[in-house]
């Protein structure tokens, strides 16, 4: 028991200890208030941001791609709205049954079915949408909409297809679009200052980027700026409702220098033969025609092609996918001769009065090796002009034999050989301008005099793309200077290539032009058959590329049984003379003749540009 006097002590102890504990809790309370104050007032903005980030996800909204026009305002490629039946694979368990059910309402053909089945699993994993059927008719839309409650996982929505009215005309120059890969997307979003949220990818679907051609080179401006749909999400990431929408900015419409009519004429004239046609506006270096033949449908590639059809395209022996204009490599053959002649004039090896006797072949003094011309018995006594008109090989063999090889190569480089001469072509090739150094490095052989002789007639190691040949043609027509080629005139400061010539006069240029006019107009000209196909003068030079080196015509008869070993035909030309506006190069593979096969194509295209 506790005593009376202890009662007061006890009460005092209790009071002081209770106060002590309460003080302790008071401190805890203050600490807690302070903690809450820090969270709610001091750090409010960062937690508010965290809360917003928690509950929102943004989906990218693709802007409409820019329209591509030709130089006359014709639409070459456009965005065509299409109503597509779209499903959410992640929400569908049995796709096969689902398609059967859909098929009762909207006919889904075998190809569409395969297309869906091929992609279903992947789209399901990444929660991306999948278009079951594109371009639905009004009737199909109506049939689906009244039953849409049966298909909560499917929706009909407007999507834009990239479509050209001329899918086969501009296959290589315009190029095609395709789905963006994740790394493309992260680059694009970085450029546009957007955060790379996980959802941007998770739900990313159908974002197009240019894969080839102008669609690729000008992708940045054609693409536009992505918009964003901002959704509220729950903790599981399920989209609940749209809370904000940032409008996308549509891509910039683009005017190219291409000419629809000339391209059509070139396409028809080529008639599917393998080769290339390139037309350049001499004054600006703008590319007017850019045709690699055969072609393929860019619409088909851009908007979903079945894998079987794609395989067929890829494995086609005519290689329709291959861009011959920028990537093809052809020996310039005799079309190189004006440049070799100019080399002779510049270095005073020859002048216009200089003649040689052409017996039909050239004997290399070093080893008595014989280099033949195309005409048995030769051209007799010839000067530079007749050598160009008649395309004497002997004259240029002899001229190249007398050249200083490094000078000659430097001279040819000024014409654009071995260089990229296009500022905005997709993946432009440089061809090959050989040199002693190059030969040593690549073939482990020294430069022979015979190599120089071959170079004199554009054979041997020298090769150029059709684009380079067109540049070369325009460069000669413009008397030794030309802006680099371009497809879009967009104020980019363009390089101009200039031939640094101290001994070539304007008169020399005129005579070169005159000689090239003679190629068609002169009765002895290699392209004299073109004379009556046009109503104005054309300066031209034909070329025939030997794929197999032979000594006699009889041997060639044997070789030509294999079509793929037949000679290529090349024609470069510019017109109308004397004030040329357009320069052209035409290459037709296995055509056997430049003048009579490539020539008519060149004239038809020039006619379409000049007579009208």
Partner 1 sequence: MKQASFKRFTIFFDQHLFISITLLSVMGLFFLYSASQGNINVVMKQAIFVGFGIFLMFILSQPDPDIYKILSLVFLVTSLLLVLITILFAKEINGAKRWLDLGIFTLQPSELVKIALPIYLASYLFEKPIPIDIRNTFKSLSIIGICFFLIARQPDLGTSLVVSMAGIYILFFAGLSWKFIGSSVLVFLISLPFLWNNFLQPFQQQRILTSLDPSADPFGSGWNITQSKIAIGSGGISGKGFEAGSQSHLDFLPETETDFIFAVIAEEFGFIGVCILLSVYMFILLRCMYLAFNARDRFCRLTIGGLSLVFASTLFINLAMVTGLIPVVGMPLPFISKGGSSLLSFYIAFGIIISMASHKKLMQR
Nearer to partner 1, 10 or 366 (CB): 10
Could you identify the residue written with the tokens 């070093």?
A: 366
The answer to the question of residue 6 lying near partner 1 (CB under 8 A) is: yes
Residue 169 phi/psi, 5° resolution?
A: -75, -40
Could you identify the residue written with the tokens 């918009």?
A: 227
Question: Residue 551 carries which DSSP code?
Answer: S
Out of 67, 156, 233, 246, the residue judged to bind partner 1 by CB under 8 A:
233
297, 334, 398, 542: the active-site residue: 334
Judged by CB under 8 A, the stretch of 117-125, 233-241, 513-521, 554-562 that binds partner 1 is 233-241
Residue 190, class by beta-carbon neighbours within 10 Å (0-12 exposed, 13-18 middle, 19+ buried)?
exposed
| CA-CA-CA-CA torsion sign (406, 411, 414, 419) | negative
The answer to the question of residue 314 lying near partner 1 (CB under 8 A) is: no
Q: Report how many residues bind partner 1 under the rule CB under 8 A.
A: 43
Please report, as residue ranges, which positions from 42 to 71 form the binding site for partner 1 (by CB under 8 A): 43-44, 46-48, 50-52, 54-55
C-beta separation of 344 from 429 below 8 A: no
Give the shortest CB-61-to-partner 1 separation in angstroms.
Answer: 23
Give the shortest CB-56-to-partner 1 separation in angstroms.
Answer: 9
Helix axis angle, 405-413 to 337-346, nearest 10°: 120
Alpha-carbon distance 21 to 12, whole Å?
Answer: 14
Q: Report the candidate in 390, 415, 387, 410 with the shortest Cα–Cα distance to residue 399.
A: 387
Out of 39, 107, 370, 443, the residue judged to bind partner 1 by CB under 8 A:
39
Out of 93, 110, 158, 236, the residue judged to bind partner 1 by CB under 8 A:
236
Give the shortest CB-196-to-partner 1 separation in angstroms.
Answer: 18
Judged by CB under 8 A, the stretch of 15-23, 196-204, 418-426, 442-450 that binds partner 1 is 15-23
DSSP per residue over 218-258, as a string? Answer: THHHHH-B-EEEEEEE-TT--EEEEEEEEPPBPPPPEE-S-
The answer to the question of residue 41 lying near partner 1 (CB under 8 A) is: yes
The answer to the question of residue 445 lying near partner 1 (CB under 8 A) is: no
The answer to the question of residue 23 lying near partner 1 (CB under 8 A) is: no
The answer to the question of residue 40 lying near partner 1 (CB under 8 A) is: yes
Out of 11, 147, 312, 369, the residue judged to bind partner 1 by CB under 8 A:
11
Contacts of 62 (CB under 8 A, 6+ apart): 160, 206, 207, 208, 226, 227, 248
The answer to the question of residue 25 lying near partner 1 (CB under 8 A) is: yes
Q: How far is CA 485 from the centre of its chain?
A: 14
Alpha-carbon distance 528 to 308, whole Å?
Answer: 47
Reply yes or no on whether 334 is catalytic. yes
Neighbours of 447 (CB within 10 A): 19
Nearer to partner 1, 29 or 536 (CB): 29
**Alpha-carbon distance values, 12 to 1, 26, 161, 590 (Å):** 18, 20, 89, 118
The answer to the question of residue 2 lying near partner 1 (CB under 8 A) is: yes
The answer to the question of residue 37 lying near partner 1 (CB under 8 A) is: yes
Task: Give me the residues that bind partner 1 (CB under 8 A), please.
Answer: 1-3, 6-7, 9-11, 13-15, 17-18, 21-22, 25, 28-29, 31-33, 35-37, 39-41, 43-44, 46-48, 50-52, 54-55, 232-236, 240
Q: Which residues are tagged catalytic?
A: 334
């Amino acid at each position: 028991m506790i005593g009376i006097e202890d009662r007061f002590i006890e009460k005092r102890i209790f009071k002081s200890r209770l106060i002590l504990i309460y003080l302790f809790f008071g401190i805890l309370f203050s600490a807690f208030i302070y903690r809450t104050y820090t969270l709610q007032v001091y750090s409010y903005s960062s937690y508010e941001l965290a809360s917003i980030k928690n509950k929102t996800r943004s989906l990218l909204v693709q802007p409409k791609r820019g329209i591509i026009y030709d130089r006359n305002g014709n639409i070459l490629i456009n965005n065509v709205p299409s109503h597509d039946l779209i499903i959410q694979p992640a929400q569908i368990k049995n796709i096969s049954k689902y398609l059967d059910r859909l098929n009762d309402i909207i006919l889904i053909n075998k190809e569409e079915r395969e297309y869906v089945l091929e992609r279903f699993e992947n789209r399901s994993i990444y929660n991306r949408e999948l278009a079951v059927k594109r371009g639905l008719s009004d009737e199909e839309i109506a049939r689906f909409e009244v039953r849409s409650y049966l298909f909560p996982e499917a929706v009909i929505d407007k999507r834009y297809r990239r479509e050209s009215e001329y899918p086969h005309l501009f296959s290589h120059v315009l190029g095609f679009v395709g789905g963006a890969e994740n790394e493309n997307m992260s680059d694009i979003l970085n450029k546009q200052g957007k955060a790379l949220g996980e959802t941007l990818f998770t739900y990313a679907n159908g974002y197009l980027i240019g894969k080839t051609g102008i669609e690729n080179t000008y992708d940045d401006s054609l693409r536009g700026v992505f918009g964003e749909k901002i959704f509220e999400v729950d903790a599981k990431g399920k989209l609940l409702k749209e809370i904000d929408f940032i409008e996308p900015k549509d891509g910039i419409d683009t005017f190219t220098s291409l000419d629809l009519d000339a391209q059509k004429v070139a396409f028809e004239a080529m008639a599917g033969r393998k080769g290339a046609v390139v037309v350049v506006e001499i004054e600006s270096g703008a590319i007017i025609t850019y045709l690699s033949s055969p072609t393929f449908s860019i619409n088909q590639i851009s908007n979903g092609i079945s894998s079987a059809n794609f395989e067929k395209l890829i494995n086609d022996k005519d290689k329709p996918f291959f861009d011959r204009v920028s990537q093809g490599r052809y020996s310039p053959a005799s079309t190189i001769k004006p440049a070799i002649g100019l080399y002779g004039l510049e270095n005073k090896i020859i002048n216009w009065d200089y003649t040689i006797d052409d017996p039909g072949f050239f004997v290399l003094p070093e080893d008595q090796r014989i280099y033949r011309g195309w005409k048995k018995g030769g051209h007799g006594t010839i000067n530079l002009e007749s050598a160009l008109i008649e395309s004497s090989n002997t004259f240029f063999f002899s001229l190249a034999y007398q050249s200083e090889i490094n000078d000659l190569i430097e001279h040819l480089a000024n014409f654009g050989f071995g260089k990229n001469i296009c500022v905005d072509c997709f993946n432009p090739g440089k061809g090959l301008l050989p040199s002693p150094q190059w030969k040593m490095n690549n073939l482990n052989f020294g430069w022979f005099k015979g190599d120089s002789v071959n170079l004199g007639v554009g054979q041997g190691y020298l090769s150029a793309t059709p684009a380079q040949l067109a540049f070369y043609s325009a460069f000669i027509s413009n008397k030794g200077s030309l802006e680099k080629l371009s497809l879009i005139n967009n104020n980019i400061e363009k390089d101009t290539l200039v031939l640094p010539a101290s001994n070539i006069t304007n008169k020399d240029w005129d005579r070169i032009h005159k000689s090239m006019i003679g190629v068609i107009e002169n009765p002895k000209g290699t392209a004299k058959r073109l004379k009556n196909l046009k109503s104005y003068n054309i300066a031209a030079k034909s070329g025939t590329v030997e794929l197999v080196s032979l000594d006699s015509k009889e041997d060639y008869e044997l070789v030509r049984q294999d079509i793929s070993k037949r000679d290529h035909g090349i024609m470069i030309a510019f017109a109308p003379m004397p004030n040329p506006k357009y320069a052209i190069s035409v290459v037709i593979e296995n055509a056997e003749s430049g003048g009579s096969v490539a020539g008519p194509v060149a004239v038809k295209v020039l006619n379409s540009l000049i007579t009208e």
